[in-house]
Structure 1
Amino acid sequence: MKMKELIKKLTETYGPSGEESKIREVIIDEIKDYVDEIRVDVLGNIIARKAGTGEKMMLAAHMDEIGVIITNIDDKGFLRFSNIGGVSPFTLIGERVIFENGTVGVFGMEKLDSIKDLKFNKMFIDIGARSKEEALKKVRLGDKAVYYRSCDIIGDCVTAKALDDRAGCAVLIRALQNLKNPKFDTYFVFTVQEEVGLRGARTSAYGIEPDLAIAVDVTSTGDTPEAEKMAVELGKGPAVKIMDRSVICHPKIKEMLIETAEKNNIPYQLEVLEWGGTDTGAIHLTKAGVPSGCLSIPTRYIHTPSEVASIDDIEKATELLLRVLEK
């Protein structure tokens, strides 16, 4: 399977925070023939081990995605909702969502004097029901939904929902499938509930007790018109994280990534993110501390229904990670 096909398969699979069973099944099916052992822990993280004789290395990419959760259903069958993770109401107008059972809904909003007043409590989801009783046949309180969008190729880029962080999952999957001679005792971890507080990374790292760790996640760019100033662009290679709001990356991991990229002529960028965080933020504080870093995939329009990333950046991230792991 080519990288484009893998990303399409991953991004179009349902999997909001706390409801990762479908995406977990897809990932396990991709990696089960390439690992020495695989298990799912009590929180739902996939922990796949590729045995080696060196230090214990934990790799993490989160498989959950942002979404919405139903909080109320009115008498006319319209659904009220709240967010799961970093969802902006301004990205929802006219968008569609899909529930785990395949029910599709459309976001609508109440009449407003100013669009600046748009908040979740002024919005609803229309699933075509004419009454509360009819709606309850399709959706219950507490059900979750995600953006309903296909994955498409535009130029040399891919656009899809949930590239955050199915792109990172694709990197780990492809690296695992091609890893022949690991120099680390390597744990590939596909984490849950990152979008609501790095929760899966925290518990899985506590159980693994790694010596070193690298997360693979997306990062913002500064290459669109009038974007916030940031020295990361699409198509110039994966980014080695220096810091974000959750972590100052350990020099050992940072230099390992940089030196490996330079030795193998793999293009890379350096990333200083002034907001946000990744699984690295939880892993590096585990127990007595874990030297941790992050390999980032430049991505535009993060947390919207149409995130955009470069296929070449994703493939270069895979190559770099593989070179770090191999003897």
Structure 2
Amino acid sequence: MSELLQELLKTPSPCGSESMLCELIEKNTVQYSDKQYIDKLGNLIIRKAGNGKRLMLTANMDEPAIAVNYIEDSGKLRFSYIGNTQQELLVGCRVIFQNGVSGIICADKKAENARQMYIEIGCESRQEAEKKISAGAFGVIYNKLVKLENNKIVGSGMDNKIGILILTEVIKRLVSTNYDTYLVFTTQKNMSNKGVKAAVFDVEPEIAITVEGVCEGAEVSKGACIKVRDKGVICQSEIVDKLVSIAKTKEIPYQLEASDNISQAGDIYKSGSGVITCGVGYPVKKCSPESEIISLDDLQSAVSLILSFLAM
């Protein structure tokens, strides 16, 4: 298990406040890039120059966010949740804020949404709590990383942090390519894909490949996921067929993703005059909001598939 993976998983990146994670990615990629910059929405854009078609690879930096609304006289934190998780499952989850303060999500009775819950950080009054946290603070659901059998791991944040690790590995191992390649680490996926919508107008790609967790319609340890369609996009057969052919030729484990998931691909392909779009994902088994299982073998399959595609 790489040191970078552990750093990524320990770094909170709530939607709209991804700067800490962005700095970590910058530090680990700057020596491998021909150019890198941060756009107005906080997307980190890295270029690996080539003479061919302009290709964009994307992975989102943001996690579903816990946003503190106000602090009660008792010291309890009332909050909003920015993300797609069924909110009734949040009770009992641990929260970590960007300043390092930890808490636990509680409810005094059965709760169906965040408005009926609160965060307990151990303080007994509003005055005491305000010394630790303030209204407007952002945090994320957090659970420590645990290694499982068969090269699997479980923890929180797998749905986006593994995609970041995949693209980081691609940057480090990409020696040469015929594509003019832009690797984009995007913000605000959990706010209607705002980051990637801005990035696609900046980069103006001819081809785009998204790298995202696949939570439905894929099986952990069965290989990288080649997107055929989801709720927002039907991928062009030319790129799907090319990825499948590469996987078969190189004997890279793969599976096809045809689902009703929502992804960045749906907002990319219809941008501008249209972008040839597909996805190379990795299966994620969601056991709870704080426990997501992935296979490190699937991660390597995705890296190998992307590198092989870029080499052709």
Q: Please report the TM-score for the alignment, with normalisation by the length of structure 2.
A: 0.96
Looking at structure 2, the residues matched to 73 and 124 of structure 1 have their Cα atoms a distance apart, in angstroms, of: 9
Give the structure 1 partner of residue 70 of structure 2: 72
Give the structure 1 partner of residue 43 of structure 2: 45
Looking at structure 2, the residues matched to 251 and 199 of structure 1 have their Cα atoms a distance apart, in angstroms, of: 27
CA contact (8 A) 2:178 2:310 kept: yes
Give the structure 2 partner of residue 122 of structure 1: 116
Q: SS in structure 1 opposite 2:211?
A: strand
Give the structure 2 partner of residue 224 of structure 1: none
Which of residues 63, 83, 86 is equivalent to 1:85? 83
Looking at structure 1, the residues matched to 112 and 34 of structure 2 have their Cα atoms a distance apart, in angstroms, of: 51
Give the structure 2 partner of residue 217 of structure 1: 212
Unaligned runs of 5+ in 2: none
Give the structure 2 partner of residue 305 of structure 1: 290
Looking at structure 1, the residues matched to 70 and 242 of structure 2 have their Cα atoms a distance apart, in angstroms, of: 50
CA contact (8 A) 2:22 2:44 kept: yes
AA at the equivalent of 1:281: G
Give the structure 1 partner of residue 10 of structure 2: 12
AA at the equivalent of 1:189: V
Could you tell me how far 1:314 is from its partner in structure 2?
Answer: 0.4
Task: Please show how residues 1-327 of structure 1 align to structure 2 within 5 Å.
Answer: 4-111=2-109, 115=110, 117-155=111-149, 156-221=151-216, 230=217, 232-274=218-260, 276-301=261-286, 304-327=289-312
Looking at structure 2, the residues matched to 200 and 52 of structure 1 have their Cα atoms a distance apart, in angstroms, of: 24
Could you tell me how far 1:75 is from its partner in structure 2?
Answer: 1.1
CA contact (8 A) 1:235 1:313 kept: yes
Deviates more, 1:277-286 or 1:24-33: 277-286
AA at the equivalent of 2:213: V
Q: SS in structure 2 opposite 1:247?
A: coil
Could you tell me how far 1:94 is from its partner in structure 2?
Answer: 2.1
Unaligned runs of 5+ in 1: 222-229
Looking at structure 2, the residues matched to 312 and 23 of structure 1 have their Cα atoms a distance apart, in angstroms, of: 24
AA at the equivalent of 1:147: I
Q: SS in structure 1 opposite 2:171?
A: helix
Q: Pairwise CA RMSD of aligned residues?
A: 1.4
Give the structure 2 partner of residue 227 of structure 1: none
AA at the equivalent of 1:242: V
CA shift digits 1:64-84 (9 cap, x unpaired): 111211112111111111111
AA at the equivalent of 2:77: L
- Taking only the aligned residue pairs, the percentage that are identical comes to 35
CA contact (8 A) 1:39 1:46 kept: yes
Q: Which consecutive segments of 4 or more residues in structure 1 shift more than 6 A?
A: none
Deviates more, 1:69-78 or 1:173-182: 69-78
